[in-house]
């Protein structure tokens, strides 16, 4: 779906050779720290930003080549961008008319996202962020699309709202839909997504099923001299990644890491399998280097 996608702003590679696909029947979480390139990627997918190179296809076609795109792909990029002067119902009705849909669909969607008739009569300008997100999701689902692209849809939702969204998306994917949703919060995505695409500084850092990424065996190691240990590990062909919590993470068994440290007489203060911290630890490790470089 996204192949070699790149967006360069001046000298800055906001999205750098990004390749991934979103499978039907699955919710794919697009995870990365602020500024990682998530929104730019989503904007390129729906033709709001022109790629510098690479391609972004939806069911084999570019967004701009899809006739009546709302019936193929539902998009929510910025819930706050909805017209503040219109009521929720007006906003959905206009979209329904533009897509050639029956007005009854508007009522169905209002009900689906839990906006009451009284709320639907209020102007969007008076909505809370959570209500705007619900309205935005209703808008995205209006045309019964097969693909959903949602940028930070859980923003503004409380924990109950996030559970609601999980159910909604799981109904969508059970019917064969493919959903891509971005988030900078691992906790949100962990609850909702089946697959993960992790991005940092415009580049893909990891992709796979949530379980796969959780299960990736690794070792957390900390020593008196991390620099020397890092060099020793690299000399063995290993690739230690500095951890956000100090020390480093290595894709190898603890015993293997321990042997390298012993051979170089480097005292260790910590040596353990990394799975314990789950995806969070992995996310922090994967993005630690990006975050640090971003600060300097």
Ligand X SMILES: Nc1ncnc2c1ncn2[C@@H]1O[C@H](COP(=O)(O)OP(=O)(O)OP(=O)(O)O)[C@@H](O)[C@H]1O
Residues that bind ligand X (CB under 6 A): 9, 14, 32, 34-40, 184
We find the least distance from the C-beta atom of residue 13 to ligand X, in angstroms, to be 9
Per-residue CA distances from 191 to 12, 33, 139, 148, 248 (Å): 33, 17, 23, 18, 27
For the CB of residue 164, give the shortest distance to ligand X in the complex, in Å. Answer: 22
* DSSP annotation string for the chain: -EEEEEEEETTEEEEEEEEE---TT-EEEEE--TTSSHHHHHHHHTTSS--SEEEE-BTTB-GGGSSSGGGTEEEES-GGGS-TTSBHHHHHHHHHHHHT--THHHHHHHHHTT--HHHHTSBGGG--HHHHHHHHHHHHHTT--SEEEESSTTTT--HHHHHHHHHHHHHHHHTT-EEEEEES-HHHHHHH-SEEEEEETTEEEEEEEHHHHHH---EEEEES-HHHHHHHHHHTT---EE-TTSSEEESS-HHHHHHHHHHTT--EEEEEEGGGGHHHHHHHHHHHHHHHHHH-
Which pair of structure tokens corresponds to residue 188? 């949100």
CB of 287 to ligand X, least distance (A): 11
Q: How far is the CB of 295 from ligand X (least distance, A)?
A: 14
CB of 203 to ligand X, least distance (A): 11
Give whichever of 36 and 279 is closer to ligand X, judged by the CB atom: 36
Residue number with CB closer to ligand X (40 or 87): 40
The distance of closest approach from Cβ of residue 30 to ligand X in the complex, given in angstroms and rounded to an integer, is 9
> 38 or 132: whose CB is closer to ligand X?
38
Closer to ligand X by CB, 198 or 233: give it: 198
Residue nearer to ligand X on the CB measure, 11 or 102: 11
Residues pairing with 147 in the sheet: 73, 178
In whole angstroms, how close is the CB of 199 to ligand X at the nearest point? Answer: 7
Nearer to ligand X, 19 or 144 (CB): 19
For ligand X, give the closer residue by CB, 93 or 183.
183
């Amino acid at each position: 779906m996204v192949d070699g996608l790149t967006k360069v702003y001046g000298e800055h590679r906001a999205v750098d050779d990004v390749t991934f696909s979103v499978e039907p029947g699955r919710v794919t979480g697009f995870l990365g720290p602020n500024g990682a390139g998530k929104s730019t990627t989503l904007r390129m997918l729906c033709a709001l930003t022109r790629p510098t190179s690479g391609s972004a296809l939806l069911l084999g076609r570019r967004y701009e080549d899809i006739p009546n795109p709302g019936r193929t792909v539902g998009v929510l990029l910025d819930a706050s961008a909805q017209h503040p002067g219109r009521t929720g119902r007006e906003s959905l009705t206009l979209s329904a008319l533009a897509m050639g849909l029956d007005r009854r669909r508007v009522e169905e969607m209002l009900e689906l996202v839990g906006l009451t008739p009284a709320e639907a009569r209020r102007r969007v300008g008076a909505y809370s962020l959570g209500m705007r997100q619900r309205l935005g999701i209703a808008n995205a689902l209006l045309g019964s699309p097969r693909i959903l692209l949602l940028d930070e849809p859980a923003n503004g939702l409380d924990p109950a709202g996030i559970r609601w969204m999980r159910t909604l998306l799981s109904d969508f994917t059970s019917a064969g839909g493919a959903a891509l949703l971005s988030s900078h919060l691992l906790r949100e995505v962990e609850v909702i997504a089946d697959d993960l695409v992790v991005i940092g500084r415009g580049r893909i850092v990891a992709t796979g099923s949530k379980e796969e990424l959780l299960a990736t065996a690794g070792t957390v190691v900390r020593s008196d001299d991390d620099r020397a240990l890092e060099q020793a590990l690299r000399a063995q062909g290993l690739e230690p990644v500095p951890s956000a919590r100090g020390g480093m993470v290595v894709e190898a068994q603890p015993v293997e890491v321990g042997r390298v440290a012993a051979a170089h007489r480097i005292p260790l203060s910590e040596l353990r399998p990394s799975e314990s911290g789950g995806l969070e630890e992995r996310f922090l490790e994967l993005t630690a280097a990006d975050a640090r470089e971003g600060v300097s």
